[in-house]
Amino acid sequence: MEYEFHWNIVFQKLPQLLNGAFVTLHVSVLSMLIGIAIAVLLAIAKMSDARIFSLPATVWVEIARNTPALFQIYMAYFGLGAFGIHLSPYAAVLSALVFVNAGYLTETFRGGFQSIPKTQYSASKSLGMSSTQLYRYIILPQMFRRIYHPMTNQFVWSILMSSLGILVGMNELSGETQRLQSLSFRTLEFFIVAAVMYFLITKFVLFSAALISQKVFKGEL
Amino acid sequence: MGTSFFTPLSWSDSGFILTGVLNTVTISLVAILVGTLLGLAVGFFRAEANKFTNTLLGAVLDILRSVPLIIQLILFSTYIGAVGHPLDPFVTGSIVLSLYTMAFMSEVFRGGFESVHQSMVTAARSLGMSYWQTVAHIRLPIGLRAVFPSWLGVALSVIKDSALVSVIGYMELLRTSEQLISRTQQPLEILIGVGLFYFIVSYPLSLYGKYVERKMAI
């Protein structure tokens, strides 16, 4: 049996789909920004000698890395209800993505920080650099170079995983596609367009990231 | 019948949850096995193929990695339904998850094959080994050993991603728990149990992966 494609209805709904794509980008960018901020704190806590700091950070990182993202979203959406916290679909997906991003990025940041030989600290001191100069000119530029690619990958992961919003009725690209296709039952057409949009978004992100890295690092990656 | 539509969690539910656990384990193992074998073949082919074939194949694999798994699952199951060959959710889920796994595994294995120095292969050939002997005795063992931690990383992410197969109706762990939640209205207890299961499976394996990686680094 052959399937007959009808694309008209999908193109009529393109503005709504684009709106969904915008929400997808919105939630993933926000989840990265908040995730980065928390990851910096967690990385510092994890490297601390005091267990009251390092233990909670380790627990956070290991739970984030060893449970499915869908579990985190269900936990935020259904599980927190037991504490009287009722999140909207957007807030639930955002907090789940922040939780996972922070967990993965903590290890990225810690790895980036520890990859810089300790001798560089003493070398810069013996050259008479202040500690601001040390971090500004020596440590942070090298660190940023090493965490740049893992961070880009994490961002792409966030975009792809925000599609789980479909399961809690969020209005990002997947959820919006689901809602629109249910009005017309052109399921295949709608999800094909959504797939193309995801592909283009991730390619665009990776392409811009490569462009930025060329400008900033001038090929010395 | 009781007075309430909602009934609390009871021991009789453990069989239901166990089905979910077994289904999650089954579909993960199938996807890891099939994905590894296909990935090994594709990865080897890509390490050998010329630039044109490589670029073409790379583009196809790239699609599998750049479209969310959940969209792939919905698309594939809708498609085979629309052309009149609906399949069992387990079969549909296994196919999509295996191909998705293959896309990541092929990159891992390709890297492994390319990490084996050409000089070693040349040396083996000059010792009189045939092409396939160098593959079986030199390139496979050395290449595979080098990528074991990455392979484990992909396998672990497949176990976690298998939760998404619930979207096409496969009764894996997270879907069974979701149904229990809607009956018992005890989301927290059930979800914590589910999370613990994934953690207990994934954490020791991830520690082992880190251990092997550290041992190989020296």
pLDDT tens digits, one per residue of A4-56: 888 888 889 999 999 999 999 999 999 999 999 999 999 999 999 999 999 99
pTM of the entire structure?
A: 0.91
Structure tokens at B18: 């166990």
Structure tokens at A67: 């449970």
CB contact under 8 A, B198 and A74: no
Q: How far apart are CA B93 and CA B43, in angstroms?
A: 23
Under CATH, which architecture does the B12-217 domain have? Orthogonal Bundle (1.10)
Shortest distance between the Cα of A139 and any Cα of chain B, in A, equals 24
Assess: ipTM above 0.95. Answer: no
| Count of all residues that appear for chain A in the document | 221
Per CB-CB distance under 8 Å, the chain B contacts of A160 are 66-69
B203 in contact with A, Cβ within 8 Å:
yes
Contact present, B107 and B157 (Cβ < 8 Å): no
Shortest distance between the Cα of B129 and any Cα of chain A, in A, equals 39
> What proportion of chain A, given as a percentage, has pLDDT over 70?
98
> What proportion of chain A, given as a percentage, has pLDDT over 90?
76
Q: Read off the pLDDT band of A1 (50, 70, 90).
A: low
Q: How far apart are CA A32 and CA A24, in angstroms?
A: 12
Average pLDDT, chain A: 93
**pLDDT of residue B212 exceeding 60:** yes
Structure tokens at B33: 């096995």
Q: Read off the pLDDT band of B1 (50, 70, 90).
A: very low
A185 in contact with B, Cβ within 8 Å:
no
Candidate from A2, A174, A187 with C-beta closest to B70: A174
In chain B, what are the domain boundaries? Answer: 12-217
CB contact under 8 A, A3 and B83: yes
Average pLDDT, chain B: 91
CA atoms within 13 A on the CB side of B148: 16
Termini Cα distance of chain B? 66
Burial-class residue B112 by CB neighbours within 10 Å (0-12, 13-18, 19+): buried
Mutate to test the interface with A, among B25, B65, B74, B173 (most CBs of A within 10 A): B74
CB contact under 8 A, A78 and B187: yes
Q: How far apart are CA A206 and CA A62, in angstroms?
A: 27
**pLDDT tens per residue, range B162-194:** 999 999 999 999 999 989 988 888 889 899 999
A59 in contact with B, Cβ within 8 Å:
no
Buried/exposed code over A63-96 (b: 16+ C-beta within 10 A; e: otherwise) = bbbbbbbbbbbbbbbbbbeeeeeebebbbbbbbb
Q: How far apart are CA B87 and CA B98, in angstroms?
A: 16
A153 in contact with B, Cβ within 8 Å:
no
Q: How far apart are CA B27 and CA A176, in angstroms?
A: 29
**pLDDT of residue B5 exceeding 70:** no
Candidate from B66, B161, B195 with C-beta closest to A198: B66
Domain A8-216 has CATH 3.40.30.10: no
**pLDDT of residue A196 exceeding 90:** yes
Q: How far apart are CA A34 and CA A105, in angstroms?
A: 11
CB contact under 8 A, B72 and A203: no
Q: What is the pLDDT of residue B12?
A: 78
Which residues does B78 contact at the CB level (< 8 Å), separation at least 6?
A: A187, A188, A191
Q: How far apart are CA B95 and CA B80, in angstroms?
A: 12
Q: What is the pLDDT of residue A104?
A: 97
Distances (CA, A) of B23 to A179, B165, B167: 29, 10, 14
Mutate to test the interface with A, among B62, B67, B157, B210 (most CBs of A within 10 A): B67
B67 in contact with A, Cβ within 8 Å:
yes
Structure tokens at A166: 């479909």
**pLDDT tens per residue, range B131-146:** 999 999 999 999 999 8
CA atoms within 13 A on the CB side of A152: 18
A192 in contact with B, Cβ within 8 Å:
yes
In chain A, what are the domain boundaries? Answer: 8-216
